[in-house]
Amino acid sequence: MTSTTATRTRGFTTTAVHAGQEPDPLTGAVIPPIYQTSTFAQDGINVLRAGHEYSRGSNPTRSGFEEQLAALERGERGFAFASGIAAEDALLRAVLRPGDHIVLGADGYGGTNRLITKVLAPWDIGHTAVDITDLDAVLAAVRPGSTRVLWLETPSNPLLGIADVAAWAQLARDAGALLVVDNTFASPYLQNPLELGAHAVVHSTTKYIGGHSDVLGGAVVVGTAEWRGAPLTEAVGFQQFAAGAVAGPQDSYLAARGLKTLSLRMERHQDNAQRIAEWLLERPEVSQVLYPGLPEHPGHGLAAAQMRGFGGMVSFRPAGGEAAARAVAEGTRLYSLSVSLGGVESLICYPSEMTHASVRGTALAVPVDLVRLSVGIEDVEDQLEDLERALAGAS
Ligand SMILES: *Cc1c(COP(=O)(O)O)cnc(C)c1O
């Protein structure tokens, strides 16, 4: 009998459970051990038993997670860092040189903006912020010869705008620049930017990948692109080793464990988010709902085409303006008033002063009447009851 399964590529969840996560060859432990070690015994000078020398360079627990994530992002290699921001910093310093310029999607994580404007700008890195849905503005912002990176977040934070990744990738190629996509909100379960033409993907693994709000981490996954005459994998790998903001073995273990159930959690997150977005739309206390799963969302068609679902983040604007937004954010009980997102528990946030305080008063400021939900996996009826009470109390 001939096997037809040999050529089939494994499904997402099978890959999530098994890639880089083989049983321990020494003991048969089904779960690879947490290699809590800084250094590795050598069998002779520079004769390494399994390729590991020192845990800043590589550690088996970290390598297992990097392999697992790279497989899910359809990348060449993954690199795990101590936080999402550390991953972003390593990638940008690997590819940029003084005098270079970044085109940055305006609606994005406040910390990314702070990294570029406060940490990198003094090293002579310029940037221009653009509306992610306006491709003419992206093209106009490109400075031939000095724009080296186009940086995009889609869905964006906190307005949940959708950008055309393939079109941005073409603009990057035409400019001789790299397209980096922050894929934190979608996660690799819903979107693979490398397959849409991006050169690198970054994640805050703190969010959906870790999935339980119990670990901080970040990752870069790169494809086969060459950069300044060498594979991009080499530039990022060197930066990770030489600057050293690596993920530790405990954190890598938690991220890998979370990643195994990403598909199951994400299905529930987005089922609940869709229900809640549709429910909010009907509420008289709500003037606008921002969720790409709603047909009236301007990016709905694009999201349906380039994503495999619409995710678990919902933003909305209460009809009562800023005062009502503040009151709703402070008025829930099940939803915890917290920054961050992507954990199993529901969180509510007032972005203008919580996640985006660093851009308040600038052109990148977010609306003061905006509320953001990280919709958790709890029973949706309990979530609706909580939101209904908070909305009633706020109006
Ligand atoms: C949280 C977040 C980051 C930063 O990650 P940390 O793990 O907090 O350093 C970057 N991008 C997005 C979209 C995020 O939500």
Q: What global pTM score does this model have?
A: 0.96
How far is ligand 1, taken at its centre, from the CA of residue 2, in Å?
47
Atom of ligand 1 minimally distant from the CA of 184? 13
For the chain, report the end-to-end CA distance as a whole number of angstroms.
Answer: 69
Q: Is the CB of 223 under 6 A from ligand 1?
A: no
List the catalytic residue out of 89, 182, 369, 386.
Answer: 182
Rounded CA separation 208/143 (Å): 35
> Which residue's CA is minimally distant from atom 1 of ligand 1?
204
Question: With the CA atoms of 271, 274, 278 and 280 taken in that order, what torsion angle do they form, in degrees rounded to the nearest 10?
Answer: 100
Please state, in angstroms and rounded to a whole number, the distance separating the CA atoms of residues 21 and 252.
12
Query: Which bin fits 167, alpha (ψ -120 to 50), beta or left (φ > 0)?
Result: alpha
DSSP string of 39-50, one letter each residue: B--EEETTEESS
The protein residue whose alpha carbon is closest to atom 5 in ligand 1 is 84
Q: Count of CB atoms within 10 A of residue 36's CB? A: 12
Instruction: Return the ligand 1 atom nearest residue 217 CA.
Output: 7
- The rounded distance, in Å, linking the Cα atoms of 202 and 91 is 9
Buried b / exposed e over 336-348, threshold 16 CB at 10 Å, is beeebbbbeebbb
pLDDT band (50, 70, 90) for residue 394: confident
Identify the active-site residue in 77, 207, 317, 372.
207
The mean pLDDT of 265-270, rounded to a whole number, is 98
Residue 251 annotated to the active site:
no
pLDDT for 59: 98
Q: For residues 366 and 108, give the distance between their C-alpha atoms in angstroms, rounded to a whole number.
A: 10
Tell me the CB-side half-sphere exposure of residue 208, using CA atoms within 13 A: 28
Query: Which stretches within the chain are classed as H helix?
Result: 12-18, 60-72, 84-95, 110-114, 135-141, 165-175, 187-190, 232-243, 249-260, 262-281, 300-306, 321-331, 380-394
Ligand 1 contact, 133 CB (< 6 A): no
Q: Which residues pair with 182 in a beta bridge?
A: 153, 202
Residue 262 has pLDDT above 70, yes or no: yes
Task: List, for residues 4-48, the tens digit of each pLDDT value.
Answer: 556 778 999 999 999 999 999 999 999 999 999 999 999 999 999
Pairing of strands 178-182, 313-318: unpaired
182 classed as catalytic:
yes
The percentage of residues in the chain with a pLDDT greater than 90, rounded to a whole number, is: 93
Q: Does the beta carbon of 216 lie inside 6 Å of ligand 1?
A: yes
Is-catalytic flag, 97?
no
> Which domains are seen in the chain, by residue range?
12-260 (3.40.640.10), 263-394 (3.90.1150.10)
pLDDT for the residue numbered 1: 45
In angstroms, the CA 123 to CA 228 distance is: 19
84 C-alpha to ligand 1 centroid (Å): 5
* pLDDT tens figures, 324-337: 999 999 999 999 99
Percent of the chain with pLDDT over 70: 98
The amino acid at 87? A
Residue 85 near ligand 1, beta carbon < 6 Å: yes
pLDDT mean over 289-312: 98
Dig out the tokens for 159 from the structure: 């307005």
Q: Check if 180 has its Cβ closer than 6 Å to any atom of ligand 1.
A: no
**Rounded-to-integer distance, Cα 333 and Cα 340, Å:** 17
Residue 130 pLDDT greater than 70, yes or no: yes
- Tokens encoding 111: 């910390």
Residue 192 and residue 157: Cα distance in Å, rounded?
18
Interval 373-386 mean pLDDT:
98
Strand partners, 318: 286
Concerning whether 56 is annotated as a catalytic residue, the answer is: yes
Summary mean pLDDT of the chain: 96
Ligand 1 contact via 153 beta carbon (within 6 Å): yes
Looking at the predicted structure, is the pLDDT value of residue 384 above 90? yes
